[in-house]
A = this chain, B = another copy of it.
């Protein structure tokens, strides 16, 4: 063999020092791509769709546009797919496109506290990087803003060593690579602005609970203001030809999830950090970076909920001059300031920055998707973990046993999880939502439940967490971390739904009981009437009247159950 056997010899501090090197964040995540959700071809496709759709929805909502999005998955070889996601959002200015799509840790959402789907600045570039890794192809973006006459089309790759974009193509084109173009029956698109991203990657298309189909369906449920078009074009294996299996393209129609609400949800407001959620190191950094010229104005301007009075009190407690320069404080007296801040009583963080789905919408969404007999939903008031406002919502749908083929009464219930209106499919076991559902005592609400596990029954639960910062358990954003405050809020909402369920189940039980009794009595009414006729010597007419009256009585009783 050509490989030479090298014996590893002892290193010196100098030889080891010479080998130290910077690792770019792209190199790191390329080697650890399972952390980003790209560990299998099947999951890779879902993750890419998710990142693209999240971005489109965020962009539309921020731009004040009612979102219309198309998702097209096109199989180009046995294990290779091309993904196109197009939206009618505000578009992206040309200079930003390369970095947004081909640089990890770049974006507008990380440095602010505002409810949005994206928050890391990794997702879409990671999808492009995965495509590049597995196919060598570039990510292609078409985008047009309102002000631009033409759209631009840019092809980019990541130079992983430097974590920076390489532009392979950059041309002006006429708008837009419409998803309707190849459908002769559809109206031409009239979008005057928007963005389309196209990525080719090794992937696998599979249906089922963890599929793109399921993700988009759930997306439509929690985003009723979204008009969503979706199609998958698969290659079909035809007969063998010259000893080779030929793949034939199949024409598939578009599926459209219609917009149900013609109004955008109220936009999430950006907030400043709450002083009680800020750690010493962050406080120091904020003081250093403060645009304010005095400590007092830094406290009232850079943070939320610090009134003039509270700022004065803090400065006094810490023995600091309110007119001191914040930068100087950062270096010398930050610890005293930190202690003073944490000793003062402040209003809790503002919570009007959250935009929950709402009970009505949740029930409407469940009704659209899940055929059931009983629906209920609870939206809890906003609260706070580590200084971050958040809010949870829970919806519940219960089908009559046997009436919904998808929901068996003997299986664990189905749990649909959402974070900032994004469906979470993978890693259910590690998610605070699953833990909260398993932690509730469902037996007291009338369901069977193995200890600590999901209850059994023909039931679906959906739970949503809305926050300016969702604490995910990994960069792939598939599960919510087990913060105590979050699990507690979820538990309260689940218990409220559970109580309502138990009222319904009891009523149904009583109704069934009454129904049984009624049937029993009904059966004997003719005999009773006949007996009365004999005993009281009724005419046939009188007997019929009595029979009729008895039946009426019975019906009345039944209604009163």
Contacts and interface: CB of A to CB of B under 8 A. Distances in A.
Copy number of this protein in the oligomer?
A: 2
A13 B95 CA distance: 11
- Count chain B CB atoms within 10 A of each CB in A3, A120, A305, A306 and give the residue with the most: A3
A2 B300 contact: yes
A500 B19 CA distance: 46
A327 interface: no
A129 to B, nearest CB: 8
B1 A481 contact: no
A30 B279 CA distance: 11
A296 to B, nearest CB: 10
Contacts of A481: 34, 39
Interface in A1-55: 1-3, 5-14, 16-17, 19-25, 27-28, 30-32, 34-35, 39
B95 A17 contact: yes
Contacts of A93: 13-14, 17
Contact of A107 (B1, B7, B23, B469): B23
- Which of A8, A27, A269, A471 gathers most chain B CB within 10 Å? A8
Interface string A420-432: 0000000001100
Interface stretch (A56-64, A250-258, A374-382, A522-530): A56-64
B23 A105 contact: yes
A269 B3 CA distance: 12
Nearest to A17: B93
Interface string A211-250: 0000000000000000000000000000000000000000
B21 A107 contact: yes
B136 A284 contact: yes
Interface string A136-153: 100000000111000000
Nearest to A96: B17
